[in-house]
Amino acid sequence: MTERKRIDIVEGKAGHPALCVLPEIEKEDELFEIIWTLREDGKLTIDQIIQSCSLPECENILQDLSKKGWINIKGQAVELLPKGEKRARELVRRHRLSLRMFYDLFALDGAEAEACKFEHILSPEVTDSVCTLLGHPPNSPDGKPIPRGECCSMFKQEMKPLVGPLADIMPGDQAKIVFITPGSHSRLDRLSAMGVVPGSVVKLHQKKPSYVIQLGETMIAVDKDITKEIFVKKV
């Protein structure tokens, strides 16, 4: 991962559509993504790439990539060479998994901008963890397929994610709270005052007519919406 160490992480608050300030390596990444996406749509030509690309030095980078043996250019036709194919595949996988994560877990607007930062800093191990955490999702939120990783085939039989919303476990199950993604600060304050914090073990008693959970000897009735924001790992 020597290449990635050079990357400066762009500062920006969650939800804030910070611009992707692109160092050289990330500019290349952007082109790989464009190539992958255009190929999915069956519109992979040099002209299309240049049209979709926001960078002024687009053509130069393409030539550069070709020289380094990532891609092969023949007139209008572009082809990913094996190592380019691998890099593009991993990039797109990271990008779409990041999108999925921001969209599903944190319900953030402007997830595209966040994901575009995130995809560059995920290591392969973390990518697989995110994939597992999200339950090996097949599609990104916009419906595009997420390239499968090793973790996906390994867990084919066991598709259950390790961590999921409390709302999804079965009544009678016990689980440990891993993290909470609250809709509001006051909600989190209230829950934490009753002992609902990461690390606490909860038991789900019932889902209807209202959700009832138990922490230690405390029983609490809560809205379903709240249990969707509490992410747990079964114990």
Q: Note the residues at the interface with another protein (CB under 8 A).
A: 14, 182, 185-195, 197-200, 205-206, 208-210, 212, 216-223, 225-226
Min dist CB 129 to another protein, Å, is: 20
**22 or 197, CB closer to another protein?**
197
Q: Chain centroid to CA 151: how far? A: 14
CB atoms within 10 A of CB 146: 21
Of residues 35 and 226, the one with the C-beta less far from another protein: 226
CB of 209 to another protein, least distance (A): 5
| Smallest separation (angstroms) from another protein to the CB of 217 | 4
In the complex with another protein, the residue whose CB is nearer, 66 or 214, is 214
**How many other C-beta atoms are found inside a 10 Å radius of the C-beta of residue 49?**
20
Nearest-approach distance from CB 186 to another protein, in angstroms = 7
* CB of 70 or CB of 118, closer to another protein: 118
Q: Which is nearer to another protein, 150 or 189 (CB)?
A: 189
Positive or negative, the Cα torsion across 218, 219, 221, 222?
Answer: positive
Q: At what angle do helices 82-104 and 124-133 cross, to 10 degrees?
A: 40
User: In angstroms, what CA-CA distances link 103 with 50, 111, 140?
Assistant: 29, 6, 9
Query: For another protein, which is the closer residue by CB, 148 or 203?
Result: 203
Distance in angstroms (rounded) separating the CA atoms of residues 105 and 108: 8
Cα–Cα distance measured from residue 137 to residue 174, given in angstroms and rounded to the nearest whole number: 24
Question: In angstroms, what is the minimal distance from the CB of 140 to another protein?
Answer: 24
- Helix spans in the chain (H): 2-5, 24-41, 46-52, 58-67, 82-104, 111-118, 124-133, 150-154, 185-193, 224-229
**Nearest distance, CB of residue 193 and another protein, angstroms:** 4
DSSP H or E run through 205:
strand 201-206
